[in-house]
Structures are given as structure tokens and as C-alpha cells.
Amino acid sequence: MDWLKVSEIVGQTGWGEKTVRRYIEDYPESILTRRFNGVLLVKEEAIVIMEQIRQLYKDGWEKDRIKKLLLETHPVNVLPTDDRQSPVLSRQDLIDMKNLAFQQAQMIKDLSDRQEELIHELKEIKREQTRSGREIQSYLSEQRDDNQEIKQTLSRVEIYSRKRRGLFSRFRRDD
């Protein structure tokens, strides 16, 4: 399988260069291409496919119908090259890869936004816990103060109740 320049295909078929380039652009899933040193190259076998496309247009077929037929009869996604280089990708493969990259970038952005939201929520929870902790400490401190006052009052009451009072307190016996 040889690779041909667009001008070589034009020379072999007699078609216009715009026509050949339009076929390549419109049917990237079926016409295998690659760029080498900035030159667009097409698999020699693609001429047969382009002839089929040309005939289908003459027969009144529309582009979508032709695409469907070509995908059934001449599917091309990734084919290894003969010279043991990396696989050749069709234009549609590159478009799919680009779309996938955009989807992944959007997912990463969404995850990053969600992470920021969660961080903000955690900070709010921490502030609320700190505020609640201070309120609890303040309440406990007040309770300790109240308990201290109650103990002091109770001590005074006990001391006061032990004191003998009144006229008959001297005659009373302690148990």
C-alpha cells in the first residue's frame, strides 16, 4: 500500500484538487490519510473509495447516506503502517480524542469546583464547631462559678446551723 499526495491523485483521476480534498474532509472515517513533513498523504486504495463516492453522488445519494454505506463497507479507524511506525489515526479518531480530552478537562474542572465547595463547607463546619465549643466552655465556666457559689453558700449555711443560738441553745445536747 502506497501513500499518494493529493496532486498525484488529481493526476491519476483527472478530478479537481478541491473535489479530492472535499472527499478527504467529508469522509475521514473511510479515507485513510496522514501528514508527513506537512504534506497530506492518502492511501492509494482510497482512490477506489473516492470513485465509489463520486458515482454515488452522480446517482443522487446524499452525504449522510454515503457515509453510512462507506462505514459499513470500508471502515477505517486505526491501521498499523507497513514501516513499523505508530498506528495511523483517521481524522475522526483525532476528533474523538480531542472531544474526550475536553470531556476529561470538564470533569476535572467540575471535580475541582466540587472540592472547593467541600473545603468551604468544612471551614464553615469548623467555625461552627469552634463557636459551639466556646459557648460550651463559657457555659461550663458559668456552671463552675455557680457551683462554687452554691458550695460557698452551703458552707455558710452549715457553719451557721452549727452555731448555737438562742437562749436554750446552751442546754441542747450535741448528737
What pTM was computed for the model? 0.45
- Is 170 strand, coil or helix? helix
* Per-residue pLDDT at 80: 47
- Give the mean pLDDT of 70-78: 69
Confidence class for position 155, pLDDT limits 50, 70, 90: confident
H or E element: which one contains 61? none
Q: Which residues contact 65 (CB under 8 A, 6 or more apart)?
A: 56
Confidence class for position 117, pLDDT limits 50, 70, 90: very high
Distance between first and last Cα of the chain = 123
Percent over 70 (pLDDT), the chain: 82
Residue 69 reports pLDDT greater than 50:
yes
Residue 129 reports pLDDT greater than 70:
yes
* Per-residue pLDDT at 97: 85
User: Other C-beta atoms within 10 Å of 33: how many?
Assistant: 19
Q: How large is the angle between the packed helices 17-26 and 6-13, nearest 10 degrees?
A: 120
* Per-residue pLDDT at 61: 94
Decide if domain 3-89 falls under CATH 3.30.70: no
Residue 157 reports pLDDT greater than 70:
yes
Per the structure block, which three cell numbers stand in for 4? 499518494
Residue 87 reports pLDDT greater than 70:
no
Domains of the chain, by residue range, sit at: 3-89, 91-156
